[in-house]
């Protein structure tokens, strides 16, 4: 029995370990799609759209007939009394003889149904006309949120890809440096190298080892940043598959020729919607000065008796009904409507200013991101040439060292220069990717 239990526990541990090592392969598009379903900011923005839909339904419901039922049963333990001078009805009684009559019977009740229907109400009328604009504003606000998350994911994903590449380069350089350190140590043991040569290579190995650990820790942080943007569990292992970042140069260069359009920018569309809503708000206050008209109607039965069992007697019930037209005319409210209209007009002017500001921001973003991207492309081209030259210099130094006509100092220096050139190249490439993301956002093409 204990062996079976042990085997079962071992199997559970294996399954748990396998689950803990779950690996998810992600392209950039996969990340965008995943965030749309799991990022909490996006989920809340999508819920806001659904909430607005229900609020619109509430507005529609206000225009439908409202029907209410009412059942009432009253037990007057001490009925209110009406007092009269009894001598007015009985001259034999002295004048001023006051007696009280119950104001109601001991038990009364009523059952009724009432109906009301809005015929005209300015506020409801405008709300019905504005509901599509309100819904569109909610959708556009959700689109702004989604675009901001896409922008963050785009930069985080590509930054992580480049960090992986830099980490691979550091590991490769570290491996070669350790091999060189081993060769120099053997050469010293054979009397063909000095202690300083060994120490020089050891210093480089230590520096590269430290850099490797530092970048490894930064990779973990960068991965967590990406998972946070996605709304993904931090324990999930991820593998990025869109790793050909060199292609970004060509894509970014083509992007420079793209034309801008305000209509593609979610913030601009949102500002336009805000203007429409403020215009509807002004219309609402203007129409609130008109009379509101409602149709009303009610029907039911009421009864009264001094005994409770009279409730069962149909003869005690009386039918009643009514219909009516209710017109409410606003006359004076302390000039409140005038102040509300003036405030609404100011908000319209503010919305117009916001639209111009958004347009100006888009134009500024386009101009600066184009210039930044051009400079970044030039810089990455220059750094790529430097990296090629550094690779050639290192290759030549290694060949000379193996042929016995070069020193390990040459190799160490060439390797240091190569590592610096590679770091500068990938840093410039990251600048291209970030500038591309900025330009795509300014063009409204970040999908």
**In the 3-class helix/strand/coil scheme, how is the chain assigned residue by residue?**
CHHHHHHHHHHHHHHHHHHHCCEEEECHHHHHHHHHHHCHHHHHHHHHHHHHHHHHHHHHHHHCCEEEEEEEEEECCCCCEEEEEHHHCCCCCCCCCEEEEECCCCEEEEEEEEEEEEEECHHHHHHHHHHHHHHHHHHHHHHHHHHHHHHHHHHHHHHHHHHHHHHHHHHHHHHHHHHHHHHHHHHHHCCCCCHHHHHHHHHHHHHHHHHHHHHHHHHHHHHHHHHHHHCCCCCCEEEECCCCHHHHHHHHHHHCCCCCCHHHCHHHHHHHHHHHHHHHHHHHHHHCCCCEEEEEEEEEEEEEECCHHHHHCHHHEEEEEEEEEEEECCCCCCCHHHHHHHHHHHHHHHHHHHHHHHHHHHHHHHHHHHHHHHHHHHHHHHHHHHHHHHHHHHHHHHHHHHHCCCCHHHHHHHHHHHHHHHHHHHHHHHHHHHHHHHHHHHHCCCC
Residue 373 lies in a domain: yes
Gap between the Cα atoms of 94 and 325, Å rounded? 51
Chain segment 300-315, per-residue pLDDT in tens:
988 888 777 777 776 7
Residue 6 has pLDDT above 50, yes or no: no
DSSP letter, residue 269: H
Residues of the domain holding 150: 21-64+121-290+334-443
Q: Is residue 315 part of a domain?
A: no
Confidence band, pLDDT 50/70/90 cuts, at residue 415: confident
Q: What would the two tokens of residue 393 be?
A: 């210099």
SS3 236: coil
* CA 425, 429, 432, 438 torsion-angle sign: negative
Q: What CA–CA distance (Å, rounded) separates 283 from 291?
A: 15
77 pLDDT band, cuts 50/70/90, is: confident
Q: What integer pLDDT is reported at residue 278 of this predicted model?
A: 95
pLDDT at 83 > cutoff 90: no
Q: Which CATH number belongs to the domain containing residue 41 in this structure?
A: 1.20.1600.10
Q: Does residue 254 fall inside a structural domain?
A: yes
Q: Which residue has the tokens 């199997």?
A: 11
- Inside any domain, residue 328: no
Q: pLDDT value at position 19?
A: 47
Report yes or no on 320 lying in a domain. no
Helix (H, G, I), strand (E, B) or coil at 324: strand
**Weakest-pLDDT range from 199-208, 284-293, 433-442:** 199-208
Q: How many domains does the chain have?
A: 1
Structure tokens given for 175: 């491996």
Task: Output the pLDDT for position 325.
Answer: 93
Question: What is the mean predicted confidence (pLDDT) over 388-411?
Answer: 83
Lookup: tokens for 102: 């119950």
Q: Would you state the pLDDT for residue 240?
A: 92
CA angle 41, 43, 44 (to 5 degrees): 65
Residue 37 lies in a domain: yes
**Is the per-residue pLDDT at 197 higher than 80?**
no
Helix boundaries (H) for 231-265: 248-255
Q: At what angle do helices 336-403 and 408-443 cross, to 10 degrees?
A: 160
Sheet with 107-120, strands from edge to edge, namely 66-75, 107-120, 292-305, 317-328
What does the pLDDT average to over 19-29? 78
Give the H or E element holding residue 213: helix 195-230
What are the phi and psi torsion angles at 417 (to 5°)?
-65, -40
Residue 206, classed as helix, strand or coil, is helix
pLDDT range class, residue 55, cuts 50, 70, 90: very high
- For the ranges 101-110, 187-196, 218-227, 252-261, the maximum mean pLDDT occurs at 218-227
> Is 144 inside a domain boundary?
yes
56: in domain: yes
pTM assigned to the model: 0.79
| Higher-pLDDT residue of 181, 229 | 229
């Amino acid at each position: 029995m204990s062996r079976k239990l042990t085997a079962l526990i071992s199997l559970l541990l294996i399954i748990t370990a396998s689950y803990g090592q779950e690996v998810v392969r992600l392209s950039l598009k996969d990340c965008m799609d995943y965030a749309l379903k799991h990022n909490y900011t996006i989920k809340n923005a999508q819920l806001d759209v659904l909430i607005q839909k229900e609020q619109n339904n509430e507005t529609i419901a206000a225009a439908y007939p409202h029907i209410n039922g009412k059942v009432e049963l009253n037990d007057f333990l001490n009925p209110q009394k009406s007092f009269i001078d009894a001598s007015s009805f009985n001259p034999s009684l002295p004048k001023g003889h006051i007696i009280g009559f119950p104001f109601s019977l001991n038990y009364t009740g009523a059952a009724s149904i009432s109906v009301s229907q809005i015929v005209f109400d300015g506020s409801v009328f405008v709300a019905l006309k504005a509901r599509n604009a309100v819904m569109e504003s909610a959708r556009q606000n959700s689109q702004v949120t989604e675009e901001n998350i896409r922008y963050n994911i785009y930069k985080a994903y590509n930054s992580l890809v480049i960090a992986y590449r830099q980490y691979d380069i550091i590991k490769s350089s570290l491996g070669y440096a350790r091999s060189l350190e081993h060769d120099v140590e053997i050469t010293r043991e054979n009397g063909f190298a000095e202690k300083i040569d060994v120490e020089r290579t050891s210093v480089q190995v230590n520096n590269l080892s430290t850099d490797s650990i530092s970048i490894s820790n930064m990779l973990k942080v960068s991965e967590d940043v990406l998972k946070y943007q996605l709304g993904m569990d931090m324990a999930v292992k991820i593998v990025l598959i869109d790793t050909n970042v060199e292609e970004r140069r060509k894509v970014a260069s083509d992007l420079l020729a793209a034309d801008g359009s305000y209509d593609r920018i979610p913030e601009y569309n949102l500002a336009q919607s805000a203007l429409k809503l403020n215009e509807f708000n002004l219309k609402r206050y203007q129409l609130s000065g008109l009379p509101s008209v409602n149709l009303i109607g009610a029907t039911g039965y009421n009864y009264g008796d001094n005994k409770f069992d009279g409730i069962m007697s149909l003869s005690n019930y009386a039918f009643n009904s009514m219909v009516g037209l209710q017109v409410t005319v606003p006359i004076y409210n302390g000039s409140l409507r005038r102040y509300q209209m003036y405030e609404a007009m100011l908000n319209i002017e503010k919305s117009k200013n916001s639209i111009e500001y958004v347009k100006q921001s888009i134009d500024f973003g386009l101009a600066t991101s184009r210039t930044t991207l051009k400079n970044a492309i030039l810089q990455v081209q220059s750094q790529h040439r430097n990296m090629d030259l550094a690779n050639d210099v290192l290759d030549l130094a290694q060949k000379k060292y193996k042929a016995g006509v070069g020193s390990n100092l040459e190799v160490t220096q060439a390797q240091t220069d190569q590592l610096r050139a590679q770091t500068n190249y990938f840093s410039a490439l990251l600048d291209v990717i970030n500038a591309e993301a900025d330009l795509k956002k300014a063009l409204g093409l970040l999908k």
